[in-house]
Amino acid sequence: MAGRIHNFNPGPAALPVEVLEEAAESLLDFKGSGMSIMEMSHRSAAFEEILNDAVARLKRLLKLTDDFKVIFMQGGASSQFFMVPMNLIPEGSSADYINTGTWSTKAIKEIEILKKRYKVVASSEDRNFRYIPKDFSFTPGAAYVHITSNNTIKGTQWATFPTTDGQPLVADMSSDILSRPFDAKPFGLIYAGAQKNLGPAGVTVVIIREDMLEREPKNLPTMLRYSTHVSKNSLYNTPPCVNIYMVQLCLKWLEETVGGLEAIARINKEKADLIYGLIDSNPFYKGTADPDSRSLMNVTFRLPSEDLEKKFVAQAGGNGMGGLKGHRSVGGCRASLYNAVTLDAVRDLVAFMKDFAQANA
Amino acid sequence: MAGRIHNFNPGPAALPVEVLEEAAESLLDFKGSGMSIMEMSHRSAAFEEILNDAVARLKRLLKLTDDFKVIFMQGGASSQFFMVPMNLIPEGSSADYINTGTWSTKAIKEIEILKKRYKVVASSEDRNFRYIPKDFSFTPGAAYVHITSNNTIKGTQWATFPTTDGQPLVADMSSDILSRPFDAKPFGLIYAGAQKNLGPAGVTVVIIREDMLEREPKNLPTMLRYSTHVSKNSLYNTPPCVNIYMVQLCLKWLEETVGGLEAIARINKEKADLIYGLIDSNPFYKGTADPDSRSLMNVTFRLPSEDLEKKFVAQAGGNGMGGLKGHRSVGGCRASLYNAVTLDAVRDLVAFMKDFAQANA
């Protein structure tokens, strides 16, 4: 659409333009109801249809069996960092964590605050989280094994998920959920803030396997129990309706316009390959993640100097390409290639990168 | 605007049409940024401006002194029910609660779950919460006195707030914040889900007096401490950006278009008086709240029979007036008259009520 930039933001991030157009129409009068989607009761038939459709689409896209429950929560992945250990570690048990970056570290901080038992069974902190650990073993009987599937800041991603000895996996998939197919069977719980691949910020998807609910301790505040939200179909209290609506539109787009997870995975691979291909062939750019640990969602790279990095981000901005600055904690540059970022946008970025290297080498 | 109904929903509720129109424009390209408000980084200058403007407007509208901090949270008032006792009751202390209906009862349930000490110092449960209690005394040294300023379901409202013996008031103002001016000085904390007078569902405003932060116990999860959100200006993690944006637009509308709290209070009084006037003069309708405890936000009333109530709600719907069904827990009818409900909408409703009574008496 005219006037819109190529948006490589790390999150909140690009949304499909078709989704935004449909949402804009519903902002004053949702499907002839005479009210905005933002003015409708969360207990109306129209909203329940949106909610149930979003759940059904997510289950179809991820091929979830019926023992998985999908709920919409608030508070972001940051709230899941404490809710997971609060709910899923039975008395006397402990949990395993794999530390692959900033978000894993934050998750570990919260289990520490709760004084629950845990073990960091692998970490890539020794080389500033440039890689996904390969050698690790799990604690027998651990309540779960927590991983961060994609590391937005460090630019790494689990290419395949670790095989446990039966301990359920728990994953923060905030920045790569729905970017590719995967087998959900080994997972006890998956959580994801919406603001990368699912929709706008303000809603968090939690996928929980039914048997995990049995671990819930007594005396947790009502809102902090997964069972509250599962038993009420995310309607125990007023949910973030407009955010859930946007998620539903994004899921519809992914299913009907893109054609599902196999299709988006091919496109996402092609997008990432274009940039990594340039980085590997042009010494002006230097990827920061180990090649076998590279993220297909967040491509992190450095230029010969910080001054050139600033110039790169500024010139890209002038050329209609935004969001390319690296996270403030690590510097450098980063191109986030979530589902809504088009192949054309990436082609334009790669062309710009080539020109910029030539002009500044 | 053509096609829009008169929306008397109890929440999520009517929003000002001017606000919705401005939001619709920003959904594809926010002020020439080339992206949607939903695609912008929460750490961008543009979003921080929205956030800071919302805080400044709220402080001006409520005439808050600088010792009050305004934060935007997630999880609704339902999460404040447990966060308040979790954060604000020092070791060995207890809290006072006044029970005026469904929401107060839920707040009390959460302090009970936490096993904190508390005392219900007054309740109107004896007459199904039809009134606001008048006779009560407070526990000396109580950590706070919790009230629900307006009872959405029962249709009652505190006309003036109780005078304590120095104990800070804590109020759930979800359904009447910004509907009238009040003196914030006696309050230690005020919380309000946005979905009535502030904006769409998905964000909760918390106003906390600085000295309350000193009570925070050690070892609370990071996201459950008020200090986390105060010290990071609501940006510890990704906030619900589009919801905060909508709140900012609603505050701007209230300040600039309506003219502030004195102006809206006059309009709200006039709206409520129109309906209560009819109820008091026409025996076909019967108000459910004691006259001195009536809510100016939610007018609850009964008709001669449940069949007539169904017919009333259906015919009103056919005449472009929605949301008039009473809460499922109490039945009857309810007209919610939040800030964005216009005087014209209420005049149309009163005219319809007169006609309906005449035709069905």
CATH code, domain with B306 = 3.90.1150.10
Quick one: B63 and B199 in the same domain? Answer: yes
Closest listed residue to residue B144, CA positions, set B101, B219, B90, B104: B90
**Amino acid in position A196:** K
- Domain annotation covers residue A13: no
How many Cα neighbours within 13 Å face the side chain of B110?
A: 22
**pLDDT for B197-253, tens place per residue?**
999 999 999 999 999 999 999 899 999 999 999 999 999 999 999 999 999 999 999
**Cα separation of A317 and B272, whole Å?**
52
Mean pLDDT taken over chain A: 97
Q: How far is B63 from chain A (nearest CA, A)?
A: 28
Out of B258, B279, B295, pick the residue that ends a domain. Answer: B258
Residues of B within 8 A of A318 (CB-CB) are: none
CATH of the domain at A192: 3.40.640.10
**Would you name the residues of B annotated as active-site residues?**
103, 172, 196
Quick one: B116 and B175 in the same domain? Answer: yes
Q: How far is B361 from chain A (nearest CA, A)?
A: 30
CB contact under 8 A, A241 and B12: yes
- Domain annotation covers residue B79: yes
Q: What is the DSSP string of A28-67?
A: T-GGGSSS-GGGS-TTSHHHHHHHHHHHHHHHHHTT--TT
Quick one: B329 and B241 in the same domain? Answer: no
Residues 6 or more apart in contact with residue A348 via CB below 8 angstroms: A6, A319, A320, A321
Nearest to A76 among B238, B242, B246 (CB): B238
Quick one: A244 and A96 in the same domain? Answer: yes
Nearest to A12 among B199, B219, B241 (CB): B241
CA angle B326, B331, B336 (to 5 degrees): 15
Quick one: B195 and B75 in the same domain? Answer: yes
Quick one: B226 and B321 in the same domain? Answer: no
Mean local confidence (pLDDT), A333-348: 98
Tokens of B346: 């209420």
Residue A2 has pLDDT above 80, yes or no: no
Give residue A32's pLDDT. Answer: 93
- E strands, A285-325, are 286-287, 298-302, 321-322
Nearest to A201 among B3, B42, B221 (CB): B42
pLDDT bucket at B329, cuts 50 / 70 / 90: confident
- The chain B residue lying nearest A115, using CA atoms, is B219
- Domain annotation covers residue A3: no
Residues 6 or more apart in contact with residue B46 via CB below 8 angstroms: B30, B31, B33, B40
**pLDDT for A68-127, tens place per residue?**
999 999 999 999 999 999 999 999 999 999 999 999 999 999 999 999 999 999 999 999
Residue B64 has pLDDT above 70, yes or no: yes
Closest listed residue to residue B328, CA positions, set B100, B108, B152: B152
- Domain annotation covers residue B120: yes
Is residue A172 among the annotated active site residues? yes
Radius of gyration for chain B, computed over Cα atoms and rounded to the nearest angstrom: 21
Give residue A3's pLDDT. Answer: 85
**Amino acid in position B28:** L
CB A298 within 8 A of CB A152: yes
Mean local confidence (pLDDT), A317-337: 94
- Domain annotation covers residue B220: yes
- Domain annotation covers residue B4: no
Quick one: A219 and A110 in the same domain? Answer: yes
- Domain annotation covers residue B12: no
pLDDT bucket at A251, cuts 50 / 70 / 90: very high
| Cβ-based contacts under 8 A for chains A and B | 223
Measured in degrees and rounded to the nearest 5, phi and psi for residue A247 equal -60, -45
Tokens of B228: 């986390």
Residue B314: domain span: 260-360
CA angle B117, B123, B125 (to 5 degrees): 120
Give residue A185's pLDDT. Answer: 97
Quick one: A243 and A283 in the same domain? Answer: no
CB contact under 8 A, A24 and B21: no
Mean pLDDT taken over chain B: 97
Give residue A1's pLDDT. Answer: 60
Give residue B1's pLDDT. Answer: 60
Residues 6 or more apart in contact with residue A13 via CB below 8 angstroms: A7, A195, A196, A323, A336, A338, A340, A341, B39
Nearest to B238 among A81, A193, A199 (CB): A193
Out of A223, A258, A293, pick the residue that ends a domain. Answer: A258
Residues of A within 8 A of B198 (CB-CB) are: none
pLDDT bucket at B328, cuts 50 / 70 / 90: confident
Quick one: B190 and B112 in the same domain? Answer: yes
Residues of A within 8 A of B34 (CB-CB) are: 3-5, 7, 320, 322
Mean local confidence (pLDDT), B154-179: 97
| Residue B247 Cα distances to A248, B69, B178, B203, B343, angstroms | 23, 17, 12, 9, 22
What is the DSSP pairing of strand B187-193 with strand B204-209?
A: antiparallel
- The chain A residue lying nearest B27, using CA atoms, is A24
Quick one: B189 and B237 in the same domain? Answer: yes
CB B202 within 8 A of CB B240: yes
CA angle B191, B287, B181 (to 5 degrees): 35
Mean local confidence (pLDDT), B317-326: 96
CB contact under 8 A, B223 and A42: no
- Domain annotation covers residue B11: no
**Cα separation of A298 and A321, whole Å?**
15
Residue B2 has pLDDT above 80, yes or no: no
Quick one: A91 and A218 in the same domain? Answer: yes
- What's the structural domain count of chain B? 2
CB A132 within 8 A of CB A100: yes
Measured in degrees and rounded to the nearest 5, phi and psi for residue A152 equal -50, -40
Mean local confidence (pLDDT), A139-154: 97
Kindly provide the ipTM of the predicted complex, given to two decimals: 0.98
Residues 6 or more apart in contact with residue B54 via CB below 8 angstroms: B72, B244, B247, B248, B251
Quick one: B102 and B148 in the same domain? Answer: yes
CB contact under 8 A, A35 and B7: yes
**Cα separation of B349 and B346, whole Å?**
5
Out of B198, B230, B258, pick the residue that ends a domain. Answer: B258
**pLDDT for A91-101, tens place per residue?**
999 999 999 99
CB B156 within 8 A of CB B102: no
CB contact under 8 A, A110 and B5: no
**Is the bond preceding B217 in cis, omega lying within 30 degrees of 0?**
no
